[in-house]
Structure 1
C-alpha cells in the first residue's frame, strides 16, 4: 500500500480538510448519540416515547444525554491507528492493517479494564482517556474478533460469517486519507474490517463506505461518490449485495417524500449492506443535517449504526459547521474528538515536520509512539 507523497497543502486547503475531518468524526458521534437511546426500539415504541414525529432531539442513553456507543469508541481508535501507522512509516516497518489491529486491541482493553494502565507507556494518549473505559454494548463479533493477538486477514478472516454493520461504522476515518488513491482506501478498509467481520458483505460494505467518505472529503458530490464506490466494488467477489443496496438507495431518492418505511426497506435484514445504503439515502434526501439524522433514527431498524453512518457522510460532505450546535454542546467526549481530529489533520498535512528526516517532535512521539 502507498499514498500520494510530496503533496503541498495551501492554508485554505488545510482549513477545509480540518473542517471535513472534524465534521466526519463529530458527525459519526452525533448520529450515534442521537440513535443510541432508541436502538432496538420499533417505530411505534419510539413514537409512544417521544411523540408522533418520533425522536427529534438528543435523548438519554447510558445515563446521560449525548452519550455515545462502542461505534464512536472504535471510530476514535481507527483514527489513532491511522496516525500511528503514519508515524511508524519512518521506521520502514509500515503495515497499516497491523497498526489498526493494535489500535483496536487497545479499544478491546477499554472494554475489560477498569481504567488506563499507566505502565503501558506505548499505548499513547487516547488509551489514557478515562471516559472511554465504559462498556457500551459491544457486539459479540467485536469482542471475539479482537479477543486475542491473532489478526484476521482476507485470507483467514475473523468471524467469516459476520455481516453486521460495526466494521463499516468504524471505517469513516479511512476515507479521510485524501492523499491516497481510492482503490487503496477500499483495500485498507476491507483488510481492517476482516479483523472482526469476515463475511464479504461485512468487509465490502466497510470498503464502500470508506471510499464514499473519501470522495466527499475530496469535494465530490454524494451521488458521484456512490458511483465511484460502485465502480471499485464491481471487480470484487461477493460485491452484489453491497452494490445492489447502493443502487437501490440512489433509486429511492426519486420515489417521493422520505418515509421511515423507505428507510426500513433499504435496511432490509440489517446487514452492513442495508445500513450503508440506508445511510446514503438519508444523507441524500435530508434537507439539512438534522433532518437527515432524524430520518436515520426513526424507523424499525438499528438506529445508532444507521445514524452514525449517516452522520459520517454528512460531516464529510458539509464540514463541522453544518452539524447542529446544540447537539454538539452535549456530545460526550467532544474535547477528545476535536483533539484527535486536529491531530489527524496535522499529521496528514504536516507529518514530515513532526517526525521527518530533519527532526522529530518528542511531544508528538509521546502521543503517538512508534513502538
Structure 2
C-alpha cells in the first residue's frame, strides 16, 4: 500500500496533476520528437514555459461538474445524464467568445472559453446530441483524458461502468469505452491506496473478461512489459504509439506510472514524444496525483498552472 493520504490529498493531486501534465504537453502537442529535442534539449520537456491547459483539462472539469450535479445516491443513468449536460455546456464554451449573460458554474468562467485544439470526435459527437452510438468508428483518446473524475468519485467497478457509458456520448468504438473505463478503474484503485502495480494488474484482469476490451488489455500489457525493461525517459514510449487513440494514450501514461515514482521524471517522459503529448501528460498527472497526492507534484508547476483556483474549489467539493 502507498503512504497514508487523505481523500482530499488524492483528489486535489489528481485534478491539479492532470492540469500540470496537460500544460506541459500542450506546449509541444503535434510536434515531432526531433523538433521537441531541438527546442527543449535532449532531456525533453523539463520546463513549463506556458501554463495554459488544453481541452483535456477543460473537459475533465466539466466531468467533475456533471458528477457534482447528480444526486449523491442517484442511479448510473442520472450520473450519465448530468455528465452529458455538462459536456454540452463545454461545447458552448468552444462556440462562444465569452460567457452568455446568466451563465452559472463552469460556464461562467471566461478563461474556459478558449478553444485549445478540441478533438474532432468530441465536437461532432456533442453537436449530434451526445447520444450513445455517435461516431461508431472513433476511438480517439478524447474519452480517456476526461475520465479521471469517475475514479475519484466511485468505487472501481462503478467507475469503469459509468466512464465506459459516458465515453459513448462522443466515441462509439468499444475500445474507446474500455480505455476510458480502465483509466477510471485504475484511478479508483489508487484512491483506495493500492500501489500502481496492483491497480493496473486488477484493471487488466477486469479487461480480460470481455472480448471487446482486448485492444485495451493488450495495450496495458505492452506498457507493463516496457516499464519492466526500459526506464521512462524522452521518447522511450515510442513503441507504444503516439497517443492519438484511446488505448495508446492510456498505455503511455501507465508505462510512465509503472516505470518511475519520480513524478517530475515521469511527467517529462510522458510528454516528450511525437504525438498527443498533452493527453498523455494529463492522464499520467491524474494517475500520479491519485497515487501520491498533491504534495508529490513539482511545486513550481502545480502552483502556476492555469485555473488552479477553480480546480482547487472543484476538488474540495468532489472530495467532500
Indicate the TM-score class for this superposition, using the shorter chain for normalisation. Answer: over 0.9
Give the TM-score taking structure 2 as reference length.
Answer: 0.94
- Gap change, CA 1:94 and 1:43, over 3 Å in 2: closer
Alpha-carbon distance in 2 for matches of 1:98, 1:269: 28
Q: Residue 138 of structure 1: SS of its match in structure 2? A: coil
2:34 pairs with one of 44, 47, 59: 44
Q: Residue 335 of structure 1: SS of its match in structure 2? A: helix
Match of 1:314 in 2: 288
2:232 pairs with one of 246, 253, 258: 258
Correspondence 1:136 to 2:126: no
Does the 8 A contact of 1:23 with 1:312 survive in 2? yes
- Gap change, CA 1:152 and 1:45, over 3 Å in 2: same
Give the C-alpha shift of residue 54 in structure 1: 2.1
Q: Residue 86 of structure 1: SS of its match in structure 2? A: coil
Q: Residue 151 of structure 1: SS of its match in structure 2? A: coil
- Gap change, CA 1:48 and 1:16, over 3 Å in 2: same
1:169 pairs with one of 119, 141, 145: 145
Highest Rg: 1 or 2? 1
Does the 8 A contact of 2:233 with 2:265 survive in 1? no
Match of 2:219 in 1: 245
Alpha-carbon distance in 1 for matches of 2:241, 2:234: 10
Give the TM-score taking structure 1 as reference length.
Answer: 0.81
Match of 1:352 in 2: none
Correspondence 1:283 to 2:257: yes
Correspondence 1:109 to 2:92: yes
Give the C-alpha shift of residue 130 in structure 1: 1.1
1:120-153 residue CA offsets vs partner (Å, 9 max, x unmatched): 5xxx4221111111111111111111114x3322
Q: Which structure 2 residue ranges, 5 or more long, are not aligned?
A: none
Q: Residue 71 of structure 2: SS of its match in structure 1? A: helix
**Which runs of structure 2 are paired with 1:143-182 in the superposition (5 Å)?**
143-148=123-128, 150-153=129-132, 157-178=133-154, 180=155, 182=156
Q: Residue 63 of structure 2: SS of its match in structure 1? A: helix
Aligned length: 317
Q: Which consecutive aligned stretches of 4+ in structure 1 deviate over 6 angstroms post-superposition?
A: none
Give the C-alpha shift of residue 286 in structure 1: 2.5
Alpha-carbon distance in 2 for matches of 1:54, 1:168: 24
1:290-336 residue CA offsets vs partner (Å, 9 max, x unmatched): 10000001112221111111111000000101111101222100000
1:254-313 residue CA offsets vs partner (Å, 9 max, x unmatched): 214334454011126732111101100111222411100000011122211111111110
